[in-house]
Structure 1
Amino acid sequence: MNRSKSHIPGWLAFALSVAFVLSSVAVIIFAYLTFQVVMKRPLNPVESDAVAVADVDLQLEQAGPAAAPTVSVGMPTPTLFPTHEPWEGTDRVNILLMGIDRRPGEAFISRTDSMMVASIDPETETISILSVPRDLYVSIPGRGRDRINTAFVYGSAGNSPEGGASLAMQTVAYNLGVPVDHYVMVDFSAVIRGIDILGGIDVYVPQPLNDPTYPDMNYGYDPLYIPAGTQHLDGELALKYARTRHVDNDFGRASRQQQVILAARDKAVSMGVGSLLTKAPSLYQQVESGIKTDLSLELLIALARMVSEIPEENIRNEVLDYNYVSSYRTETGAQVLVLNNATAAPLIQELFYGE
């Protein structure tokens, strides 16, 4: 691919990328729906509990072997720094979707309190999505052991979101055995405005959802209630539905997040790429500042053509829940999760290696 020969207007290029995003299962622009409820924590990532734990646990890592239990059972071992050849349309593509805890006017550097790996396989015409819990205690290359959602902050030292994305990709590859080819990062504004431009989404709520302590933007409360049944959600309500965790736990929330992503995909596919393109200028103006990615225009177009034809029954979404992780308390007292390779390895083989 020769990117230098592309002379496409900025808004049209963005529109094409959005067409891919909204017509594929990943619905990358809405991946931020998976971010963790962090409204009660400091906005400055270097002041967060997670990074504070990182500083202490890094010292422990340097002083001796990590205390976290591990199970060595056949986890894949990809190259830590993969090289990317031009995509020929036949190889599997893995994309790390990250939700950034960023408020309007803030830099694009904070914790990735949502992380998903979306895998598109042209050969089998399948798509897999795996949600990774923010509290997963992992080895971060060059940093020791810490929660996986701090990798982006470490890599962003020097105000470099691209560096943060790179370290986050390396961390996922190193610990899960999943080679990561590309990344997409989104924030609050892209989620809400993007869904609103779609005209909202329809979601089936299996049981009434009541969260009297749902946090608002000013560190207060904005009580949330959504009745059972099929509900039409605008951008703001869809974000709340995906964010709330007090009605169950982080794993239940992860399932709702994937539910919202698939609902957005269904809505976008039903609208068609042509309809999305007519909304392109408005969409570009409203959400451009809330998205960062290393996906090229050529790759976006190629993926859009392919994934829009993948049937819904060929989409598999999973969460690394307590079937695959265990609770663990570090020597510093931090409550985290550790991966159980004995159960996680077979799942990862199925999702990302087709075995």
Structure 2
Amino acid sequence: MHNRRYSILPRWLSYALFFTFLMTGIAVSSLAYLTASAYWERTTSAAQEIAMVEAAASEMIGSLEPVIVQEFVPTAEALPAAQVTETAVAAEATTVATERVTILVMGIDRRPGEPFVSRTDSMILLSINPVKNTASMLSVPRDLYTDIPGYGRNRINTAFVYGAQNGGPAGGAELAMETVSYNLGVHIDHYVLVDFSAFVKSIDSLGGIDVNVPREIYDPTYPDMGYGYDPFYIAAGNQHLDGLTALKYARTRHVDSDFGRALRQQQVLLAARSKIMNLGFDQMLQSFPQLYQHVSDGIRTDLALNELVTLAATAGSIPSENINTGVLDTTYVSSYTTPQGAQVLIL
């Protein structure tokens, strides 16, 4: 295991993500991921550039001194969610976290019938600081070319696959967390993995979400579940999205880029959070055990159900104006061609 560097980076955890990006096992909610970057041994000037990126990211999300909630302990297998009764959940709903928590939320590119090991389609670093009553969400592009501890340099979305080869989903999540932590100097407490099915079911369980689409989108090569094409269109303006449409809106990228997609993913997560609050946060917490079991086949996390509920209650108490979002875009990354000819992004 490589030594990790620790730096300041805000954390966000949102119940929206819970019912949305995994609901992502969520109550951490959801989604973006994060931000890892290639830090193999580089020249002094490159090191200075990295320092500038980390400083910029900290400023973008907030510069709060991290409080470690719990040291990450690798496990050989995914930890099962705790079975909690409605009564227990109702009691937990009155409990909120008291220390800063950071969670790596990963969306898995997994189709029906496939094993729970695939490249991460999206990565979002969520952090919540109950002392400051703030939360943050940072998305990292999947094509970011990074140093993956023990495996050399590759796209960051391959870290999960490498780790899962011998350790299953938990091993994959561990290596993904280590990759982000090692490259960015950010302590990560927990992880949540969500596949397409869990995402769709989570949004549908809310009765859909409402988003303001900034511009018309037409993606003729949007991939379907059979690796073919399923053309996607959505008009500009206020739109009500069901689970499948929300997934397409969050995943399409051919009309702009991964950066635009990251912004849409954050928009979806925040819309899910807003819907949860409007429906009645406390009431939804009480029905959470049934909902979680409905989507649990598509979720993997090292958080117990009661921990998710506690984090959800904490996230739900944070005002919307105190939620910061950011994307590692062209302000911080640039295009690069690998020796093998692949087009990637580097810090």
TM-score after normalising by structure 2: 0.75
Partner of 2:244: 236
Would the aligned equivalents of 1:20 and 1:303 in 2 still touch at CA under 8 Å? no
Cα shift at 1:201:
0.3
Partner of 2:24: 28
**Match of 2:181, SS?**
helix
**2: CA distance, partners of 1:217 / 1:303:** 32
Q: 1:335 corresponds to which letter in structure 2?
A: Q
Q: Evaluate the alpha carbon distance shift between residue 83 and residue 70 of structure 1 in structure 2; reply closer, same or farther with a 3 A threshold.
A: farther
| Alignment equivalent of 2:341, drawn from 333, 336, 344 | 333
| Alignment equivalent of 1:72, drawn from 42, 45, 48 | 48
**2: CA distance, partners of 1:257 / 1:301:** 22
Q: Evaluate the alpha carbon distance shift between residue 242 and residue 72 of structure 1 in structure 2; reply closer, same or farther with a 3 A threshold.
A: same
Q: 2:100 corresponds to which letter in structure 1?
A: R
Mind listing any 5+ residue stretches in structure 2 that lack a counterpart? 1-13, 34-39, 56-64, 73-94
Would the aligned equivalents of 1:94 and 1:180 in 2 still touch at CA under 8 Å? yes
| Alignment equivalent of 2:228, drawn from 183, 199, 220 | 220
**2: CA distance, partners of 1:143 / 1:231:** 43
Give 4+ residue runs of structure 1 displaced > 4 Å after superposition.
18-27, 29-35, 277-282
Aligned length in residues: 292
User: Per-residue displacement from partner, 1:136-185 (whole Å, max 9, x unpaired)?
Assistant: 11111111111111111111122511111111001000111211110000
Q: 1:191 corresponds to which letter in structure 2?
A: F
Cα shift at 1:97:
0.3
Residue 151 (str. 1) matches residue 159 (str. 2): yes
Larger Rg, first or second structure (1 or 2): 1
Residues 131-280 of structure 1: pairs in structure 2 closer than 5 A: 131-158=139-166, 160-277=168-285, 279-280=287-288
**Match of 1:97, SS?**
strand
Would the aligned equivalents of 1:111 and 1:152 in 2 still touch at CA under 8 Å? yes
Mind listing any 5+ residue stretches in structure 1 that lack a counterpart? 1-17, 36-60, 340-355
Q: 1:244 corresponds to which letter in structure 2?
A: T
Residue 322 (str. 1) matches residue 343 (str. 2): no
Residue 124 (str. 1) matches residue 132 (str. 2): yes
**What fraction of aligned residue pairs are identical, expressed as a percent?**
57
Would the aligned equivalents of 1:29 and 1:194 in 2 still touch at CA under 8 Å? no
Would the aligned equivalents of 1:33 and 1:257 in 2 still touch at CA under 8 Å? yes
Q: 1:84 corresponds to which letter in structure 2?
A: E
Would the aligned equivalents of 1:25 and 1:262 in 2 still touch at CA under 8 Å? no
Q: 2:192 corresponds to which letter in structure 1?
A: V
Q: Evaluate the alpha carbon distance shift between residue 306 and residue 279 of structure 1 in structure 2; reply closer, same or farther with a 3 A threshold.
A: closer
Cα shift at 1:250:
1.0
User: Per-residue displacement from partner, 1:288-311 (whole Å, max 9, x unpaired)?
Assistant: 100011113443233223211100
Q: Evaluate the alpha carbon distance shift between residue 332 and residue 177 of structure 1 in structure 2; reply closer, same or farther with a 3 A threshold.
A: same
Partner of 1:342: none
